[in-house]
């Protein structure tokens, strides 16, 4: 990573955190373990912790556990070589013991890529369900544990229709558990139940977040998500291809905001609570593509591919963030236009 990109991330952290860093001062001098810690979410937690340690002397020691830790060292050497960040190459399924010095845990070990859910449905389910159980069993023996943040998914709400309002945490949606590709969603639903069981029986302090969609640095443009693909195709000169009629509605949170929310919810969210993690500002895919094109330096064509009578109905999957806003003071600090501009700046430079 170039110095310019590192500077860009640090500026994002400073802009988003500012005085908000006080919301998780309780994490100071602690040891934070993050499973699945070398992916997109882990990279931003690591950047934020490094920023807090360098600028506010938080002295957090971060342990990033992943079966692909060595790849993270190649992807972000400026983080992997820090003394306050430790890489642990281990599959979450094989966790038996954790260091007793661990105070805080973010459990994010799972692959959100829908292609792997289809090609390795059994492995997807095993990683989420058995991995969550293995982690919580090991965490139950820690004597200095303060709290666990379980990363679930906004997909557990199902696929609400296009006229559905923003989804609050109490919404109970329907999921076809036998449908192809649903192992990820069902695994996340089961993992929340496992967390509830450990809270009840073993008194583990666990708070849950349900992430929606994100847009920004460290995401991989070859993943099968509309915003990533639109940016990739736009930077290549187009055309940008929209599958379906483009009326599906999603919302996008910038990752610096995401990391601030994660650490705040870990520090201040009460055990047993669940919070949506995402932007409440929905946008249709057609409008998203047009917005991206408007921010490109050259004109790019947008092509809509209609799928005939068997095309799936347009859906709206956008979170209601009232709970996080009113109880924890969280908000969206990076609007969609800024997120797209920053993402384009990042991907042009990498």
CA-to-CA distance for 65 and 298, rounded, in angstroms? 41
The yes-or-no verdict on residue 206 having pLDDT over 90 is yes
Rounded mean pLDDT of the chain? 92
327 Cβ partners below 8 Å, 6+ apart? Answer: none
CA-to-CA distance for 206 and 234, rounded, in angstroms? 41
Stretch 265-277: mean pLDDT: 98
Residue 116's pLDDT band, with cuts at 50, 70 and 90, is confident
CA-to-CA distance for 186 and 168, rounded, in angstroms? 19
Q: What is the pLDDT of residues 18-73, one digit of tens each?
A: 888 888 899 999 999 999 998 999 999 999 999 999 999 999 999 999 988 888 88
Residue 42's closest CA among 262, 343, 273, 191? 262
| Contact in structure between 7 and 341 (CB atoms under 8 Å) | no
The yes-or-no verdict on residue 307 having pLDDT over 80 is no
Stretch 290-294: mean pLDDT: 97
pTM greater than 0.85 (yes/no)? yes
First to last CA, the chain: 7
The 10 Å CB-count burial string (b at 16+, else e) for 27-44 is: beebbbbbbbbbbbbbbb
Q: Which two tokens stand for residue 132?
A: 């969550």
Q: What is the pLDDT of residue 244?
A: 85
Residue 251's closest CA among 319, 152, 314, 331? 319
**What residue spans define the domains of the chain?**
3-216+253-279+316-334
CATH fold of 3-216+253-279+316-334 reads Rossmann fold (3.40.50)
Secondary structure element (H or E) that encloses residue 243, with its range: strand 240-243
- Which residues on adjacent β-strands are paired with residue 240? 302
Burial of 135 (0-12, 13-18, 19+ CB in 10 A): buried
CA atoms in the 13 A half-sphere facing the CB of 39 = 15
Stretch 251-266: mean pLDDT: 97
Q: What is the pLDDT of residue 68?
A: 86
Q: What is the pLDDT of residues 131-149, one digit of tens each?
A: 999 999 999 999 999 999 9
């Amino acid at each position: 990573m170039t110095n310019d990109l590192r500077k860009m991330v640090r500026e994002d952290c400073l802009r988003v955190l500012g005085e908000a860093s006080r919301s998780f001062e309780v994490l100071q001098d602690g040891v934070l373990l993050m499973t699945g810690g070398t992916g997109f979410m882990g990279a931003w937690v690591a950047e934020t912790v490094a920023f807090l340690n360098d600028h506010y002397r938080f002295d957090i020691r971060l342990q990033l556990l992943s079966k692909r830790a060595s790849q993270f060292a190649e992807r972000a050497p400026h983080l992997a070589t820090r003394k306050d960040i430790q890489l642990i190459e281990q599959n979450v399924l094989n966790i038996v013991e954790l260091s007793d010095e661990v105070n805080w845990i973010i459990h994010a070990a799972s692959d959100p890529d829908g292609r792997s859910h289809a090609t390795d449905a059994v492995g997807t389910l095993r990683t989420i369900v058995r991995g969550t159980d293995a982690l919580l069993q090991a965490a139950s023996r820690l004597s200095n544990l303060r709290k666990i943040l379980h990363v679930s998914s906004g997909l557990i709400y199902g696929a609400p229709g296009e006229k559905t309002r923003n989804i609050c945490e109490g919404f109970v949606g329907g999921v076809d558990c036998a449908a192809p590709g649903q192992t990820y969603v069902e695994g996340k639903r089961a993992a929340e139940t496992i967390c509830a069981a450990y809270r009840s029986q073993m008194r583990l302090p666990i708070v849950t977040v349900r992430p929606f969609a994100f847009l920004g640095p460290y995401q991989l443009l070859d993943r099968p998500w509309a915003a990533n693909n639109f940016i990739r195709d736009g930077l290549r000169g187009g055309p940008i291809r929209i599958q379906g009629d483009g009326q599906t509605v999603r919302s996008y949170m910038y990752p610096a905001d995401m990391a601030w929310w994660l650490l705040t919810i870990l520090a201040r969210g009460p055990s047993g609570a669940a919070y949506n993690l995402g932007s409440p500002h929905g946008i249709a895919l057609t409008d998203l593509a047009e917005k991206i094109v408007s921010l490109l330096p050259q004109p790019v064509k947008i092509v809509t591919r209609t799928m005939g009578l068997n095309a799936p109905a347009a859906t709206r999957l956008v979170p209601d963030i009232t709970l996080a806003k009113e109880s924890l003071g969280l908000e969206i600090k990076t609007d969609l236009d800024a997120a797209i501009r920053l993402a384009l700046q990042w991907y042009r430079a990498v």
